[in-house]
Structures are given as structure tokens and as C-alpha cells.
Amino acid sequence: MNAMDSKRLVYLPLLTAALTLNVTMAGAVEPAPEALSGPTLQPEGLIAPPEIAPRTAPAATTSTVPSLRALNSDFNSDGIPDIVWRLRGNSTSKGANVLWLMNGTSYASTVTLPAVTDLNWFIAGTGDFNGDGNTDILWRNNKPGPTNTQQGRIVVWLMDGSTYLSTVDLPGVSDGDWHIRGAGDFDGNGSPDIVWRNYVTGANTLWLMEGANLLQTSALPSVGDQGWNIFGSGDGDFDGNGSPDIVWRNEVTGANTIWLMNGTTFGGAVSLPVVVPNAGWQLNAFGDYSGDGKPDLVWRNYTTGANTLWLMNGTALGSTVALPAVASPDWKLESPR
């Protein structure tokens, strides 16, 4: 870790009250599924992948033999994905990062991660990048401007459980139109691959990774409608074919869609129930909380503070479970995705 890293990884003297995220049980405020409607998300062709900037730091040694790959976002290795939160906004605790350890579909406890007070850094995904059986955290710095000397940098926090070990640089992407929207192992080599979406051109692409090393890019079909955004991949294999799938939400129409993938290739789209956007619900993450091997969807309502799970039966909604509410919209639900 260099000196600049040290500055960013300030452990804030966070108030206990802030770290409990105002946990209160939400009432009956689940996102209500509505009838299937809205546009079917269809691929529109291919656009060139993002230009890769020179590596800004030497890569750390990474395992090339996947052996103990951690479940995406399962920091305490109990088989249940945990939920990563990052505090934005302007409070004195801004930059705090915490985990909710989950016990199945129930909140269990909160664990503090190192803070990153520079809010130009975004949590971009989670996954086991060095193959040590511990989930790691993918970060991207994306705030274009002359004063941001870190713009475009991409790093992984290598973790030991919920303990930060070290930072590894990936190749940077300075073009701020490109956003990392999740990580999942699409090519099946054991390393999480990175899902990109260009918010301006509508292009989508995968970075196929081996640890922290970019092996190659693999273009996905583009989606020009800027209402559509990707909300992750991770361990989200909804149809059980072994390939992570890609979850989309249209923040204008409220439509939700899963792209079923065959490895790195688009295999078809399945519509989920619509959740109207003006109700404040945002699709944030997914992982298997019910323990049936099928990924469930994590929703957060940035208006009411409610959080909820959609327990999925493959690509069909089974039931909903309320999670504790988090009142402040500055707390962003970042992972698993």
C-alpha cells in the first residue's frame, strides 16, 4: 500500500449510532410487484469496449489456480451473502463502509470496514479476485475533473473475512462515461469478471479477468435506452445453467429484466415484475439468502428507507421478506453484485 492509499484508508472514529444504520424493522413497505409490462430489453448490437489506460501500479501476485473461491459477498464464509453499505452525503461520518452480516433472510449484525472518505471512490462489486476463499471488494474512482488525480483508477481490496489486507491495482479506465456495474465469473475460469456499461453510448462489455489481470474484453449487446441500467451479476445464476446472469432495471419505466447468459454470450431476456420508479424503490443487489441455490433480489427504497428481499424461484418472484430499514438515503446499498 502506498502513501496515498494510507491516506484514503482512514479509520474514522465512527459513532456507534451511525454504524447501526438506524436499524428499525420496516413495516409492510415491500415493493409491490405489478403485472408484467413495459419494454422487453433487447440487445442492439455491439459497440467497442472501453479503452484501457496504462496500469497505474504493478499487479500483485494473484493465484491462477482457483481453489477456494468465496461466494460473492460472503465475508464471514457462512454461505450467506452479506450486504455492503457505503455512506455518501456530507455527514461527519461520510465515507464509512459497513457490512451487514446476514443470517439467511434476517439481519444478524454489523461489521465496520475501513472508511474511504474520498467519495470519488465507488464500490463497484465484490468477488474473490485472488482465489484465497475470501470475498474482495472492487473499487472505481470516477469523478472526472482536473482536481481528481485518481480519476479512472480501479482497485481491489483484498480481504481476510471482513479485515482489509491490501490494495491491488487493475488497469484504469479514465473515461467517466463507463461505469462498472458488477462482477461475476462469466467465462468460468474461477476469477470474477467485470461488467461495464457506458451510460452515454449504451455499450456494455465484460472484462475477462485472471485475478487482477485483464485477459481480454468481451463485448455484450448494447442497450441505447439510457433508462436501462445494470444492477449486477455476481453469483446471480437465475436459470441454473452455471453462468451468472445480468439484472437490468429501467429507472424510467420501472421495468426489470434478467439477461440469461451462456458464458459471455447473451442467451435471452426474461421480464420480472415492474416496480414503478416513483415509489422510490431501487434494485441494488442480489444473492441467495433463502439458501435454495437461487439468487434473490435486494431492494432499497431511498425515499422511505425500507429494504426488502424478493425471494426468487429462478426467474419468478416467490415471496418478499422485509429487512431492517435504514432511514438515511446517504447509506447506499452496494453489494452483493
Binding site for Ca ion (CB under 5 A): 74, 76, 78, 80, 82, 128, 130, 132, 134, 136, 185, 187, 189, 191, 193, 237, 239, 241, 243, 245
Residue 301: CB atoms within 10 Å? 21
Residue position matching grid coordinates 432511514: 327
**Secondary structure of residue 17 in the 3-state scheme:** helix
CB of 238 to Ca ion, least distance (A): 6
CB of 70 to Ca ion, least distance (A): 6
CB of 194 to Ca ion, least distance (A): 9
Q: What is the DSSP string of 192-230?
A: PEEEEEETTT--EEEEEEETTEEEEEEEEPP---TTEEE
Measured from the CB atom, is 110 or 304 closer to Ca ion? 110
Q: Rounded to whole angstroms, how far apart are CA atoms 264 and 65?
A: 20
The three cell numbers of residue 279 are 415509489
Q: Rounded to whole angstroms, how far apart are CA atoms 29 and 284?
A: 16
Residues in the chain: 337
Measured from the CB atom, is 134 or 250 closer to Ca ion? 134
CB of 206 to Ca ion, least distance (A): 9
CB of 152 to Ca ion, least distance (A): 22
- What angle (nearest 5°) sits at the alpha carbon of residue 282, between those of residues 184 and 219? 35
CB of 190 to Ca ion, least distance (A): 7
Q: Which amino acid is residue 200, in one-letter code?
A: V
Measured from the CB atom, is 80 or 326 closer to Ca ion? 80
Measured from the CB atom, is 169 or 193 closer to Ca ion? 193
Measured from the CB atom, is 76 or 328 closer to Ca ion? 76
Q: Is 313 left (phi over 0), alpha (psi -120 to 50) or beta?
A: beta
The three cell numbers of residue 298 are 435486494
Measured from the CB atom, is 134 or 151 closer to Ca ion? 134
Measured from the CB atom, is 120 or 256 closer to Ca ion? 256
Measured from the CB atom, is 189 or 201 closer to Ca ion? 189
Residues 36 and 274: beta-carbon distance below 8 Å: yes
CB of 249 to Ca ion, least distance (A): 18
Residue position matching grid coordinates 453462468: 243
Alpha helices in the chain (DSSP H): 3-8, 16-19
Q: Rounded to whole angstroms, how far apart are CA atoms 13 and 24?
A: 23
The residue among 56, 71, 171 whose CA lies nearest residue 127 is 71
CB of 134 to Ca ion, least distance (A): 4
